[in-house]
Structure 1
């Protein structure tokens, strides 16, 4: 396996590599095994060919059938002219089209750019241009939204896009089902180079792209499966978006397949969709963001669906309160596992051997012995043990640089390669972390990280908004609502919330970023240096969230 030179500059693919000495250590210690994601499925098929790999609606695919479908799709993509190194935007819901497409792209060495179904023109247009994608894969319609119309807008902004592939009715584009040809061999991609690009949560406007290599992402999935004690009897329900790092590889779909288990795709995490699948397929593991958990608990009070096979509910994406963590075993009849991680790499899990108090009150401890963590103050100095500070990390599955983002990388990474997460944590003597908040301005809405700055940048273009600030306020459960405090121009009427939401939608902002509350103020509170004091503002507007 090729070990990159001792570089910090990105490779031609856009990857910022690890230094040579670390690469050699990660190979020697078995973290990086030199397999591509396409080769991983091939090896799993040899070991588990007849076992059930995937359930998606009416589709039930064995490992061999999934492997064959990926082979045929890879050949079809190549016939379209998609080559190794090409970037392909993927925006699919949880359907049977996603897994074979992901493996097919890996087979030919093309790079999947995994976007979320909720993204709209602002995000997709930016990601298309940033990645230089040559193809865009979408569903036809989901919940009344026509992705083909979105594709019309995206292709007008991204001239490098040559193909739009549609799962369903293609309209003016190409049906994904027609991307099919006799299998053939392709040159194996370099496992040390980029396998896929994940989308960052975004703290300063439009999202960044996170390069994950075959080596590091394969380890991410395999090690997660080991820590989470998955085996060939595991039945994992993916009810969060499958393109999200949590549902994809923590341990998610890839981790479940890595041990010979079965992946069940749910169209949504709503109990109406998820509960029947848990009963019908004997689901043992699943993952939710904390704001969804109270709904599941409330539903069990009247719903008689048999959830007795469920062994573990993972909670991550935002902090799970100790109070809610303690309710889960009694209400859902399963163990709760806290997960604190990031698409950029580092993953922390509570373990099966952890006592109830650790599980309820911490967000887990690092997955890998070579996860190298520091907790620092505002000046970059290590804080005293147990004190709160910003978490810095480097390791065998944590990126060394964002994709094509040199200005961001200059501040997001220390000179010695630590990623500055922006998370405020304190570390216990056991190594477990307790998350205390964020350094940067983000709002955790239903498990998605929303940039307050992005919302503000759009709203400053509104003719009836003079100044504004977006903050997160408690929704009374486990998440946050997006509250916009605004001041209209002198003598002008204030806009209504519905008008503000419509204005943002017209500008191509994703629906999950729309404000839930609008508060009109005479003045916005300021800090001593004249910046908007968002902490004071959040405290002042919090009563509006419960009114």
Structure 2
């Protein structure tokens, strides 16, 4: 186990009342001393105690040392939810190596751009997942980028020229712990289009994030957290996620499927108390409870995040699952907002909560950068002790993404109530400029989903030779025969101004997604143009 005697470079650091005394890789040894015999991780039929996790991380870090990895190196991790993902991440952090957290769904185009930017020396992946062979992707990456001198695959029948993760085992030779202010890991930005930017998070700011988030979510030693969304997501890794639950002695159950007939029996079997979902998945789960009857009474908290959620869906979730609902809004760049567990019903239903730290500094500004009046909508700017001040090796993006005063431009349109609760209204780039009139896509989407035959709606702007941009509504629901005229009449009768009523409608069976799991509005725009033609 790692010697935690503090070197001068790792002197304690306090952020908003939380005192940090060790970098993240060293924190695991503290957890193992407190809860050594308790189960930390469960994946399928496999489980691992805190003590065994600490030992495995040590032995894996030792093997990586022997393979030539050293402090300051970067590695690319593209692994599904598994014990291998957690041990690889923690071993890298213990060794002072910087993980780049890629999503399992990303492919050569995105990964090649990330590798070209960050120059990692190793690539860690599952051998295969859902039929996709990552060893083929690994060869393409290695051929294109000589910096990748080491390939490690988690699974069996690994090619001879690659390393098998489970076989990596060697004594760890303790190294100087990184400073709390040193770079810990690189997360991916959640942009809806283009190659994700790299987000540099330090040991201190990221540890604060998952420790404070655990407080917000009521995590304790009896918490059993089910991770079904990809663990590389900031939401699942630290809000409170895998790291927040482990930091409080709780148990993390890891899964790679979200289908109700697999996951709901798993919740019952493992007595899961906490789970995090995105709104589209939540809707499917609510529908599934009409036929899926597993005992979900162990659930104490259902978090909803990753996208704006309609109040009616939140209320329906409360009724169907009979558990506390917590809205979560934030970004891998830093700022995280939560509704509190004891908030009033109207706050939980209608807002995305308020910042988790009293040291979070936020501004809501108009298009000219001037603060808007209380309650009015504008772009959210933020800075604070756990929010980044730059992207990694991205000078051009930094100039556009940060103000001269150090505020991060979120690109989110929000309003704030008198108690500090934030409601997300949409994205700046999701505004439609129709013949000079500005239309918030979120407003139209909310109005459309009030129709009983429309379950979900996404509104995008498509180029138009006459209007500049026209409003296109993509719809999902049980009936795909609802006439356009009937939808327009419904919106008109419910008070929507004529210029805000969509010009084009299309029914869709599934939402296109980017590699990082966000809605791909660019593909919807292309589809709108194609259907128009």
CA distance 1:154–1:301, shift in 2 (3 Å): same
Task: Answer yes or no: is the 8 Å Cα contact 1:345–1:397 preserved in 2.
Answer: yes
State the partner residue of 2:336.
347
Q: Distance in 2 between matches of 1:437 and 1:108?
A: 41
Task: Answer yes or no: is the 8 Å Cα contact 1:239–1:269 preserved in 2.
Answer: yes
Structure 1 residue 59 displacement after superposition: 1.3
Structure 1 residue 378 displacement after superposition: 0.7
Within the candidate set 430, 450, 458, 2:419 is matched to 430
State the partner residue of 2:379.
390
CA distance 1:249–1:473, shift in 2 (3 Å): farther
State the partner residue of 2:149.
162
Within the candidate set 185, 188, 192, 2:174 is matched to 185
Task: Answer yes or no: is the 8 Å Cα contact 1:88–1:113 preserved in 2.
Answer: yes
- Secondary structure, in 3 states, of the residue corresponding to 1:205? coil
Task: Answer yes or no: is the 8 Å Cα contact 1:287–1:314 preserved in 2.
Answer: yes
Q: Distance in 1 between matches of 2:285 and 2:154?
A: 30
Task: Answer yes or no: is the 8 Å Cα contact 1:121–1:509 preserved in 2.
Answer: no
State the partner residue of 1:225.
214
Write the deviation string for residues 268-293 of structure 1: whole angstroms up to 9, x where unpaired: 22212321221111100000100001
* Backbone CA RMSD of aligned residues: 3.2
Within the candidate set 289, 303, 316, 1:300 is matched to 289
Q: Distance in 2 between matches of 1:83 and 1:469?
A: 52
CA distance 1:323–1:73, shift in 2 (3 Å): same
Structure 1 residue 80 displacement after superposition: 0.5
CA distance 1:411–1:32, shift in 2 (3 Å): farther
Within the candidate set 439, 451, 456, 2:428 is matched to 439
Aligned pairs (5 A) from 1:205-244: 205-244=194-233
Which deviates more from structure 2 when the two are superposed, residues 357-366 or residues 514-523?
514-523
State the partner residue of 1:267.
256
Q: Distance in 1 between matches of 2:470 and 2:177?
A: 47
Aligned pairs (5 A) from 1:256-405: 256-405=245-394
CA distance 1:361–1:29, shift in 2 (3 Å): closer
Q: Distance in 2 between matches of 1:320 and 1:373?
A: 22
CA distance 1:346–1:28, shift in 2 (3 Å): closer
Task: Answer yes or no: is the 8 Å Cα contact 1:372–1:395 preserved in 2.
Answer: yes
Q: Distance in 1 between matches of 2:63 and 2:254?
A: 24
CA distance 1:523–1:265, shift in 2 (3 Å): closer
Task: Answer yes or no: is the 8 Å Cα contact 2:13–2:180 preserved in 1.
Answer: no
Within the candidate set 36, 47, 51, 1:60 is matched to 47
CA distance 1:104–1:436, shift in 2 (3 Å): same
State the partner residue of 1:47.
34
- Secondary structure, in 3 states, of the residue corresponding to 1:440? helix
State the partner residue of 2:476.
476
Whether 1:151 and 2:160 are equivalent positions in the alignment is no
Which deviates more from structure 2 when the two are superposed, residues 220-229 or residues 177-186?
177-186
- Secondary structure, in 3 states, of the residue corresponding to 1:181? coil
- Secondary structure, in 3 states, of the residue corresponding to 1:430? coil
State the partner residue of 1:484.
none
Structure 1 residue 407 displacement after superposition: 1.3
Within the candidate set 95, 100, 108, 2:87 is matched to 100
State the partner residue of 1:127.
114
Structure 1 residue 98 displacement after superposition: 0.8
| Structure 2, unpaired ranges of 5+ | 1-5, 432-440, 443-457, 478-510
Structure 1 residue 440 displacement after superposition: 2.6
Structure 1 residue 203 displacement after superposition: 5.0
CA distance 1:277–1:195, shift in 2 (3 Å): same
Write the deviation string for residues 472-504 of structure 1: whole angstroms up to 9, x where unpaired: 844437xxxxxxxxxxxxxxxxxxxxxxx9xx9
Q: Distance in 2 between matches of 1:470 and 1:119?
A: 31
- Secondary structure, in 3 states, of the residue corresponding to 1:425? strand
CA distance 1:475–1:101, shift in 2 (3 Å): farther
State the partner residue of 2:406.
417
- Secondary structure, in 3 states, of the residue corresponding to 1:518? helix
Structure 1 residue 85 displacement after superposition: 0.8
Task: Answer yes or no: is the 8 Å Cα contact 2:16–2:358 preserved in 1.
Answer: no
TM-score of the superposed pair, with normalisation by structure 1: 0.79
CA distance 1:304–1:421, shift in 2 (3 Å): same
Q: Distance in 1 between matches of 2:26 and 2:45?
A: 27
- Secondary structure, in 3 states, of the residue corresponding to 2:393? coil
Q: How many residues align?
A: 461
CA distance 1:174–1:35, shift in 2 (3 Å): same
Aligned pairs (5 A) from 1:481-496: none
Task: Answer yes or no: is the 8 Å Cα contact 1:34–1:215 preserved in 2.
Answer: no
State the partner residue of 2:486.
none
Task: Answer yes or no: is the 8 Å Cα contact 2:13–2:204 preserved in 1.
Answer: no
- Secondary structure, in 3 states, of the residue corresponding to 1:84? coil
Aligned pairs (5 A) from 1:134-145: 134-145=121-132
TM-score of the superposed pair, with normalisation by structure 2: 0.81
Q: Distance in 1 between matches of 2:265 and 2:14?
A: 43
Q: Distance in 2 between matches of 1:331 and 1:120?
A: 37
Task: Answer yes or no: is the 8 Å Cα contact 1:138–1:166 preserved in 2.
Answer: yes
Structure 1 residue 377 displacement after superposition: 0.6
Q: Distance in 2 between matches of 1:206 and 1:69?
A: 34
Structure 1 residue 27 displacement after superposition: 3.0
